[in-house]
A and B are shown apart, each in its own frame.
Chain A
Amino acid sequence: MEKEHASIQDYGYRDFSTLNRIYQVFKKVLIVLIVLGLYISIIVIAIQSLNESRNLSDFTRLSFQWYGNILQEEELMQAIRNTFLVSSIATVLATFLGTFFAIGLYALSKKVRVFWMLLNNVPILNADIVTGFSLMLMFRLLMVIFPNIFGLFTLVMAHLFFTIPYVILSVMPKLKETDPNLMDAAMDLGVRPYKALVKVVIPAIKAGIFSGMLLALTMSIDDFAISYFNTGAGFDNLSIWIYAVIGRRNLTPSVYAFSTLLTIFTLFGLLIYQFLQRQKKGRKNEKNNFNDIRS
């Protein structure tokens, strides 16, 4: 800003450009540090998986042997398969059910809703081991009718129990933001309520559903205590296996290798998805520039 006799500072303008520049640098550093903080443990796991030695405190030589080993670790592979099976079923069901439950809860009067939302917090709040234990006791009552109930079924039910609340918690604030007139408008146009729900409300709360789904998957994939009590028939997931091995024996570094692979594949998947989207957008842009600007 150039200076003049009657400077704009006299009118209350203050020059923040230096401050702004410092803030820009500070911002970048902070972002890098936070991302590093989030990922430091993942980086260390990756290093451990590339270490030739099984010793976790000393990096001897670079080696990919633990990656090749994953397939030979039968118990580990079984645990991984089980984890994926349970978590994918639980996540899909929890996202789906949680969204509709949230809509249902939102339709209640406020007093009633507050009460149920309080209860909804209990599965998140309760110590895992307490939840796991009480669920097991409840499912045991069903054993009278279905003697072989424990296994995949109870495991998925237990996972639903603590993932649905997360979905509801993330969908609910979005629901409150949606314009109540949206629904009315749709219905005035002659759309039936449930159709309007799917066509109008769901798109409006998409972001909440998506973050709810991410949370559900995250909680489900990593659960130990609740899974331990509610599994059966040898249906152990990865967390149960890791806990059992870590206590008395040495974990094979193949676990670290698997963990690293999971992270890397997801990252790659995201990149490829982004790339494809951009290509699609590029083609669309030619005819549809206007829409893009608005969004």
Chain B
Amino acid sequence: MNKEFKVLSRPYMVWLSVLVFIPILAMLVISFSNLNSSVSMSELVLSVSHFNLLWESSTLIAFRNSILFATITTFISFVLGYFIAYEIKLSKFKNKFILLTFVILPMWSNLILRTESLANIMSENNILKSIIGFNIFGNISGTWIAVLFGLVFTYMPFMILSVYTALEKIDFALEEAALDLGLRPIKKFWKVVFPLSFKGVVTGSIMVFLPTLAGFAIPKILSRGQIVFIGNIIEQKFIYTNYNHGALLAVVILIFILGSILLLTKFDKEGETLL
């Protein structure tokens, strides 16, 4: 790309520096000190006393839950979402953007309304049962299955959209060539189509993984408050104005995730599949 366009990124760099860097620095200060709304500057003390929080069993379990659920959700979204994106690509329907809008349309309704309605029909006595007479989900409200279902079907549209964007560009001639060269359709898919769409999968995975990891509303509602994610703890801390703890957890997550992304780019030889 023309180097002249570099200048277009300048405003965004300023924007990110001001709105991301400074708050992160502030969060670091807050998590390493006793700074809060009622402490004046003169009483400010640096301390690592908040770090006990990190070894609290609930924090560790919440971390584990977040990472576990986010990973599984990403994987299931990838399998199902790729399938749907591929079908959209193959479909004879001309206006692909209509199909894409159709896929993401549910997300335009409020997340809480959607999640509560899911929780509603997952419980023992619910509105669907009162119409059709039986429970389609059984009584899974409050279990990990309910949470996983909610997470997958809430965030999957992100995966579909990103994968489709990548698939869209693949030249049909390439696929035909592969078939002409004697590859079976399945092999053609693995050898030709999938590698070319991998960038979309990575983007989609980031878009599914990150909000799942940091989210709190879906696990809270669908587990009936019994499965705690790290997002739930951060939210609690901030609401009860314990900014020190909240900031500490937020910073730890940030470092953890950004670190792992950075590590991935290091291992990625060609360096272009990821960022």
Q: Which A residues have a C-beta under 8 Å from some C-beta of B?
A: 16, 27, 30-31, 34, 37-42, 44-45, 47-48, 51, 56-59, 97, 100-101, 103-108, 110, 113-114, 116-130, 133-135, 137-138, 161, 164, 166, 169-170, 172-177, 180, 183, 187, 193, 197, 201, 207-208, 210-211, 214-215, 217-218, 221-222, 224-225, 238-239, 242-243, 246, 255-256, 259, 262-263, 266-267, 270, 273-274, 277-278, 281
> Is there an interface contact between B110 and A101, defined as CB atoms closer than 8 Å?
no
- Look across to chain B and name the residue whose beta carbon is closest to the beta carbon of A165: B16
- Look across to chain B and name the residue whose beta carbon is closest to the beta carbon of A87: B108
- Does B40 sit within 8 A of A, measured CB to CB? no
Contact of B261 among A44, A51, A118, A211 (CB under 8 A): A118
Q: B155-175 vs A: 1/0 string, CB under 8 Å?
A: 011100110111011000000
A224 to B104 CA separation, bound complex (whole angstroms)? 19
Known contacts A125-B214, A211-B100, A221-B108; 7 additional CB pairs below 8 A are A44-B120, A57-B126, A101-B9, A127-B216, A134-B23, A169-B203, A242-B110
> Is there an interface contact between A51 and B162, defined as CB atoms closer than 8 Å?
no
> Is there an interface contact between A34 and B6, defined as CB atoms closer than 8 Å?
no
Select the residue from B12, B161, B243, B271 with max chain A CB neighbours within 10 A: B12
- Assuming the contacts A44-B121, A100-B8, A138-B22, asked whether A222 and B111 have C-beta atoms less than 8 A apart, the reply is yes
> Is there an interface contact between B210 and A121, defined as CB atoms closer than 8 Å?
yes
- Assuming the contacts A30-B83, A31-B87, A126-B214, asked whether A170 and B161 have C-beta atoms less than 8 A apart, the reply is yes
> Is there an interface contact between B258 and A34, defined as CB atoms closer than 8 Å?
no
A57 to B121 CA separation, bound complex (whole angstroms)? 8
A133 to B207 CA separation, bound complex (whole angstroms)? 22
With a CB–CB cut-off of 8 A, which chain A residues contact B207? 124, 166, 169, 215
Contact of A239 among B1, B4, B112, B128 (CB under 8 A): B112
> Is there an interface contact between B234 and A130, defined as CB atoms closer than 8 Å?
yes
With a CB–CB cut-off of 8 A, which chain B residues contact A281? 94
Contact of B117 among A44, A135, A193 (CB under 8 A): A44
Contact of A58 among B111, B130, B169 (CB under 8 A): B130
Contact of B27 among A57, A134, A169, A242 (CB under 8 A): A134
28 contacts between A and B (CB under 8 A): A39-B106, A44-B127, A45-B113, A48-B127, A57-B125, A97-B12, A101-B9, A104-B8, A116-B12, A117-B275, A118-B262, A122-B16, A126-B254, A130-B234, A134-B23, A138-B19, A173-B203, A174-B165, A177-B166, A210-B97, A214-B161, A221-B108, A222-B111, A225-B235, A242-B112, A255-B110, A259-B110, A274-B98
With a CB–CB cut-off of 8 A, which chain A residues contact B246? 129-130
- Does B269 sit within 8 A of A, measured CB to CB? no
> Is there an interface contact between A259 and B247, defined as CB atoms closer than 8 Å?
no
> Is there an interface contact between B2 and A41, defined as CB atoms closer than 8 Å?
no
What's the minimum C-beta distance from A26 to chain B, rounded to whole angstroms? 11
> Is there an interface contact between B112 and A104, defined as CB atoms closer than 8 Å?
no
Contact of B5 among A47, A106, A177 (CB under 8 A): A106
- Assuming the contacts A116-B13, A130-B250, A270-B101, asked whether A138 and B94 have C-beta atoms less than 8 A apart, the reply is no
With a CB–CB cut-off of 8 A, which chain A residues contact B9? 101, 104-105, 107-108, 116
With a CB–CB cut-off of 8 A, which chain A residues contact B109? 41-42, 45, 222, 259, 262-263
> Is there an interface contact between A129 and B238, defined as CB atoms closer than 8 Å?
yes
Select the residue from B87, B113, B168 with max chain A CB neighbours within 10 A: B113
With a CB–CB cut-off of 8 A, which chain A residues contact B238? 129-130, 133
With a CB–CB cut-off of 8 A, which chain A residues contact B97? 210
With a CB–CB cut-off of 8 A, which chain B residues contact A172? 203, 275
Contact of B118 among A41, A122, A166, A266 (CB under 8 A): A41
- Look across to chain B and name the residue whose beta carbon is closest to the beta carbon of A45: B117
What's the minimum C-beta distance from B112 to chain A, rounded to whole angstroms? 6
- Assuming the contacts A107-B8, A124-B211, A281-B94, asked whether A183 and B261 have C-beta atoms less than 8 A apart, the reply is no
Q: Would you list the 4 A-B pairs with minimal beta carbon distance, nearest first?
A: A104-B8, A104-B9, A134-B23, A44-B117
With a CB–CB cut-off of 8 A, which chain B residues contact A239? 110-112
Contact of A177 among B22, B164, B169 (CB under 8 A): B169
> Is there an interface contact between A104 and B105, defined as CB atoms closer than 8 Å?
no
With a CB–CB cut-off of 8 A, which chain A residues contact B80? 30, 34
> Is there an interface contact between A114 and B272, defined as CB atoms closer than 8 Å?
no
- Does B153 sit within 8 A of A, measured CB to CB? yes
- Does B219 sit within 8 A of A, measured CB to CB? no
> Is there an interface contact between A42 and B1, defined as CB atoms closer than 8 Å?
no
With a CB–CB cut-off of 8 A, which chain A residues contact B128? 44, 47
A243 to B104 CA separation, bound complex (whole angstroms)? 22
A119 to B19 CA separation, bound complex (whole angstroms)? 10
What's the minimum C-beta distance from B44 to chain A, rounded to whole angstroms? 17
- Look across to chain A and name the residue whose beta carbon is closest to the beta carbon of B167: A207
A31 to B83 CA separation, bound complex (whole angstroms)? 9
What's the minimum C-beta distance from B8 to chain A, rounded to whole angstroms? 3
A193 to B13 CA separation, bound complex (whole angstroms)? 22
- Assuming the contacts A127-B234, A161-B19, A266-B105, asked whether A113 and B275 have C-beta atoms less than 8 A apart, the reply is yes
Contact of B20 among A122, A210, A277 (CB under 8 A): A122
With a CB–CB cut-off of 8 A, which chain A residues contact B5? 103-104, 106-107, 193, 197
